[in-house]
């Protein structure tokens, strides 16, 4: 498990002539007792890696759909400790790599050393912490280095070239290309700048480049995944899962297969 596990899972799919698909779901949305079933459904539907959100009261990078899912999860009494305990119980059944998406506040509150240790013990392979800039990873670097967890970096369309190079070099597992300027949420059109943006990232990155934010239809999945190594879909998956429309989630994941 860890850094190489995520990268290898994506590269394996790419070597088979397909693109990677990473669905995002909120841990504890509809109760942690349903997490195993949700993860197994995504795994069986063809997810390459699964991104698991940690509910937080002030999610700065998330749009309304994910914010609402976070609120539902918190109302269900979801905590980091309970998420780790649940993952530990179910991890042997879930064979795809798992990436936790959290903000730094819950990490500090939980305790840095404990957080990284418990993440690894629960079978987590990587982390996305969007509100920690590259320059501030020293806040937790010593604890992170004692694990094999990958720290995935986000790069935006507005990032200057020098910044892109630094983020691409620092990212582990994969590089997360943010396809829109703004928060998460479904969008109807894809930026024309996206193709040259992803090309630039691929030139600088030693890890796969996946695009996310605002991808909501099978056609967009096909279009955007063709530019890089795969896609990440969050808000749309969260919305469909909440509405019980699993067949539509399956269609989205299968769209990377052309």
User: Which are the catalytic amino acids?
Assistant: 51, 62
Please state, in angstroms and rounded to a whole number, the distance separating the CA atoms of residues 38 and 202.
32
176 in Cβ contact with 210 (< 8 Å): yes
Q: How far is CA 193 from its chain centroid?
A: 22
The radius of gyration of the chain from alpha carbons, rounded to an integer in Å, stands at 17
How many contiguous H segments (helices) and E segments (strands) does the chain have? 12, 9
Tell me the CA end-to-end span of the chain in Å, nearest whole number: 29
According to DSSP, residue 217 is labeled S
Please state, in angstroms and rounded to a whole number, the distance separating the CA atoms of residues 45 and 173.
22
């Amino acid at each position: 498990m860890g850094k190489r596990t995520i990268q290898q899972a994506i590269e394996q799919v790419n070597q088979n002539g397909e693109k990677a698909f990473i669905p995002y779901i909120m841990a504890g949305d509809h109760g942690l007792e349903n997490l195993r079933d949700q993860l197994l459904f995504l795994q069986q539907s063809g997810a390459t890696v699964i991104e698991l959100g940690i509910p937080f009261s002030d999610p700065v990078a998330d749009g309304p759909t994910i914010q609402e899912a976070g609120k539902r999860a918190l109302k269900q009494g979801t905590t980091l400790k309970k998420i780790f305990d649940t993952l530990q119980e179910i991890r042997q059944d879930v064979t795809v790599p798992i990436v936790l998406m959290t903000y730094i506040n819950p990490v500090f509150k939980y305790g840095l050393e404990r957080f990284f240790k418990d993440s690894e013990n629960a079978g987590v392979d990587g982390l996305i912490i969007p509100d920690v800039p590259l320059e501030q990873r020293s806040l937790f670097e010593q604890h992170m280095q004692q694990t094999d967890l990958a720290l995935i970096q986000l790069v935006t369309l507005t990032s200057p070239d020098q910044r892109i190079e630094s983020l691409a070099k620092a990212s582990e597992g994969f590089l997360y290309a943010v396809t829109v300027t703004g928060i998460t949420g479904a969008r109807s059109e894809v930026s024309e700048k996206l193709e040259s943006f992803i090309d630039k990232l691929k030139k600088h990155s030693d890890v796969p480049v996946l695009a996310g934010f605002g991808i909501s239809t099978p056609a967009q999945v096909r279009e955007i995944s063709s530019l890089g190594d795969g896609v990440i879909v969050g808000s749309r998956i969260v919305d469909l899962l909440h509405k019980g429309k699993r067949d539509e989630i399956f269609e989205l994941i299968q769209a990377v297969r052309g």
